Structure 1
Amino acid sequence: MHLLYVFLALLSLTSGFHPNCPGRCSCDSVHSVQCYRLTEIPSGLPSTTKKLYISHSKIQHLQLSSFTRMLALEDFILLASGTESVENDTFKTLSTLKTLELWKNKLRRVPRVLPASLEVLKLNENSINVLHGSDFEGLKKLKILELKNNLISSLSPSTLSSLISLQSLMLDGNIIESVAGPLVLPHLKSMSLENNKLHLIPASFFASLQALQFLSVSGNFLTKIPINLPKSLLSLKMERNQLKVVRFRDMRHLENLSHLYLSENSLSSIDGAQILANLTTLELSQNQVQTLPLKLPARLQKLDISNNLIQRVTAQDFQDLRDLKHLFLDNNIVSLFEAGALQMCSQLSNLALEQNLLLSIPLRLPGTLARLDLKGNAIQDITERDLKDLKQLQVLNLRNNKISALDLKALEGLPRLRHLYLDGNPWNCTCSLIRVREILKAKGTDVKGGQCAAPAERQGESWMSSKKIMRQCEHQLHLTEKNKETKKKSKPEEHSSIRINMDDDYYDYEID
């Protein structure tokens, strides 16, 4: 019996068995309470509660009387509980409250009169349609404001003017059609207006955002990059807009910009990007670019120009990109890839060339490559010359090409190869191919094979797993060895050096 009391005492400290813990709640020893499937804010919570998390409940209305005893509350999170309204001053007396999150509810406006102690306010996924100037009065300590996926249609500078400490502003997924400036938020570092309905951002909007480092306006209707962007900017995201031209001369002052995202627009060229001397990431996927830019920033480490209309790759395109590590050229129409075109890219580790029109593996690729993707081209042969320099290669994807045989010497020159993808090719399942398979397995390479296209009697079988093919090849090898022994016995004695040469010739013939 004594042991039972000890067990219950320990349980009360570590779980919802706390003596003052309300039903359908779990209270722990660090003043945190988690509740589910409630119909009201629980009464009788420990007065020492610092964090209250309520989820998936049915609490239509929040009122002041529910929080009068929570004098130590620092974090209140109410998630997916159908809350439609909050009584005025409900949170005003919570002088220790730092975080207020009312996610996935049905609020139509920002709760009125919030405590001055608040540092984080998240009202994502509600039905808020207007921001009033009084909504954020007195919130001089607020650092994070999130209003994603609401029904807000405009943003006025006066609405947020009291948020002098704000560092992060997230307004994604609203219906904002217009913004006005200047937005006076001296400490703002990150702002996102993704997936709204913006056609234009006035130049004055950014005039007072001199600390802004991360800006995303992806998923709007912008036809040009906003001018007068802050010099402090490190990252600019403008995917899924309607850009046709990028005027880099208007961005000359962005000397700190390191990441630029322009995918899913209507760009046909991208010349002039070298002005952004510190750019390390440039994403241009899903545009209409027909030729690689004449000059790119020398510090570029990642270039994604997949899903465009590029036909040629030459050494001139990449002569200055010594820091490039990741190059994505997949889903273009590349048919010409000049030998040694990437030789100057001395740090390149990842090259994606899937879904192009290549007839062979490009020659003289950088020896630093760790991954090479060539899926969905028209490659027919893999030779030792194609792969001889790729000593660091770990992943080779050759799916869906026109390869029927493998050169054992080519694969022996890849000591670090760990993953080899070969399915979707018209394999000629000879015993030579099976021997290649066994050697790859022995060195620990994970091989994803495919079905035999020839000879006819093996059509449709998997050359990587067929036991029938293995038995046939073992039987053939046994017969070959037997014939070889018979042949040796029937020959007159010859000089030992001549006999060795003849045996080697015979062995080479069998391997081929």
Structure 2
Amino acid sequence: MTIEELRKICKQHELYLTPGVNDKLFCNLRGFRNIANLEPYTGLKALFLEGNALQNVDGLPRLELLRCLFLQQNAIHDLSGLHCLPGLEVLNISTNHLEDLSGIVHCSALQTLLCSNNKLSSYESIAHIRHCQQISTLDLRENEIEDPEVLEIFAGLPQLRCLYLKGNPVVESIRSYRKTVISRLPGLTYLDERPIFDVERRCAEAWCAQTKSPPLSSFKRSSRSRSAGSIYRARAPFIRHTLLLSFPTSVSGLFHMAFSRQNARKKRHCERKKGDDWMPVGWCMQGCGWAGG
């Protein structure tokens, strides 16, 4: 990262050739292996360094006005150079080789921290986040975090609103993961792939109030299933007996039932009209059961 290369970048993006006047600098996708010669760019508010071959951030000068730093898709394993950025609010260090976040302890103004796809694995590797009390968005997806106690760290961030943890073993190790996280973090409004609505929060808090009990919805569902099954088993003999009495078991039985009902109707009709000359004799005899043997 030479002075001449930085000047070419400014020309390419139609920025000012006077370094201190620029408030942004696009040094992304350049193959840079180190950070250097940025001292004159004192007015920077956004610095784009993603997609390079950086292994650390030691070359960063003290940039008092810098608010956004983009370092994703590098090979960074050390963040100790961030101490010179006291006003940093947005930091993207996703897709690097970080095993801990100790370098962010001096970034007290940090609000958005994106560090997915790294090698963070233990409680201690992310414990330094507690020094950044202004964090509202935290992305830790696709790491190797497996200690459920990390929820204590998140609970110590009063401004935390959005949390992304999917892709970590801890998601599988926490019982009823989503309910547990929501109940432990009362200020959270977005967890992983979807927002947290008031109804879901109330349900999670109600579930949490049940000490060592299964979720309320699951308990009710299983109780209903057991009750319905018990009732059916108890009444099964009676139901089968009723069905056998109510329905014929063959096609001939259907015809027999229909013919019997027809004869009964004709017989009642004959009794009402008995003595009338116009009544067909054959019909009456058939209805009374005399016809057809």
* TM above 0.5: yes
Displacement after TM superposition at 1:274 (Å): 2.6
Percent identical pairs in the alignment equals 20
Q: State which of 94, 111, 115 in structure 2 corresponds to 1:305.
A: 115
Q: Which residue of 2 aligns with 1:476?
A: 228
Distance of 2:193 and 2:154 partners within structure 1: 20
For residues 383 and 213 of structure 1, what CA distance do their matches in structure 2 show? 41
Residue number in structure 1 paired with 2:141: 330
Q: Which secondary structure does the structure 2 equivalent of 1:327 belong to?
A: strand
Opposite residue 290 of structure 1, the aligned amino acid is E
Superposition deviation, residue 338 in structure 1: 3.7
Out of 69, 83, 106, the position equivalent to 1:260 is 69
Change (3 A) 1:277 1:228: same
Task: Give the TM-score normalised by structure 2.
Answer: 0.60
Other structure's SS at 2:131 match:
coil
Q: Is the 8 A contact 1:387 1:413 kept in 2?
A: no
Q: Does 1:214 align with 2:24?
A: yes
Q: CA 1:225 to 1:178, structure 2 compared with 1: closer, same or farther past 3 Å?
A: closer
Q: Distance in 1 between matches of 2:120 and 2:6?
A: 41
Q: For 1:431 and 1:281, how far apart are their aligned partners in 2? A: 40
Q: 1:392 to 1:478 in 2, by over 3 A?
A: farther
**Match of 1:246, SS?**
coil
Q: Which structure is higher in strand share?
A: 1
Residues 431 and 473, structure 1, Cα contact 8 Å, conserved in 2: no
Distance 1:398 1:208, change over 3 A: closer
Name which structure has the greater RCO, CA cutoff 8 Å, separation 6+: 2
356, 359, 366: which one pairs with 2:168?
Answer: 356
- How far apart, in 2, do the equivalents of 1:386 and 1:182 lie? 45
Q: Which residue of 2 aligns with 1:433?
A: 218
**SS of the residue aligned with 1:241?**
coil
1:232 aligned residue (37, 43, 47)? 43
Counterpart code for 1:255: E
Partner AA of 2:111 in structure 1 = Q
TM-superposition CA deviations, 1:463-487 (whole Å, max 9, x none): xxxxxx99x739618949x9xxxxx
More helix by share: 2
What residue in structure 2 maps to residue 388 of structure 1? 183
Report deviation, 1:243: 0.7
Could you tell me which residue of structure 1 aligns to residue 158 of structure 2?
A: 346
Amino acid at match of 1:279: L
**Structure 2 counterpart SS, 1:272:** helix
Name which of structure 1's ranges 313-322 and 378-387 shifts more when overlaid on structure 2.
378-387
Structure whose CA Rg is larger: 2
What TM-score do you get using the length of structure 1 for normalisation? 0.36
Superposed CA deviations along residues 98-127 of structure 1, whole A, max 9, x for unmatched, are xxxxxxxxxxxxxxxxxxxxxxxxxxxxxx
Shift in CA distance, 435/234, structure 1 to aligned 2, threshold 3 Å: same
Q: Is this contact kept in 2: 1:290–1:308, CA < 8 A?
A: yes
In the alignment, the residues of structure 2 paired with residue 389 and residue 431 of structure 1 have an alpha-carbon distance, to the nearest angstrom, of 18
- Structure 2: unaligned runs, 5 residues or longer: 195-201, 209-213, 235-293
In the aligned structure 2, how far is the partner of 1:355 from the partner of 1:216?
A: 31
For 1:412, the equivalent position in structure 2 comes to 206
1:62-211 equivalence runs, <5 A: 180=4, 183=7, 192=13, 208-211=18-21
CA contact (8 A) 1:182 1:207 kept: no
Contact preservation (8 Å) 1:220, 1:241: yes
- What runs of 5+ residues in structure 1 fail to find an aligned partner? 1-176, 194-204, 359-373, 400-407, 415-427, 437-468, 483-512
Runs of 4+ aligned residues of structure 1 deviating over 2 Å after TM superposition are: 177-184, 190-193, 205-210, 313-316, 336-339, 377-399, 408-414, 430-436, 472-475, 477-480
Paired residue total: 217
- Contact 1:321/1:344, CA 8 A, preserved across alignment: no
Equivalence for 1:138? none
Q: Could you report, residue by residue, the CA deviation over 1:181-214 in whole angstroms, capped at 9, with x for unpaired residues?
A: 8959xxx8x9749xxxxxxxxxxx9872221011
Task: Give the aligned CA root-mean-square deviation in angstroms.
Answer: 4.3
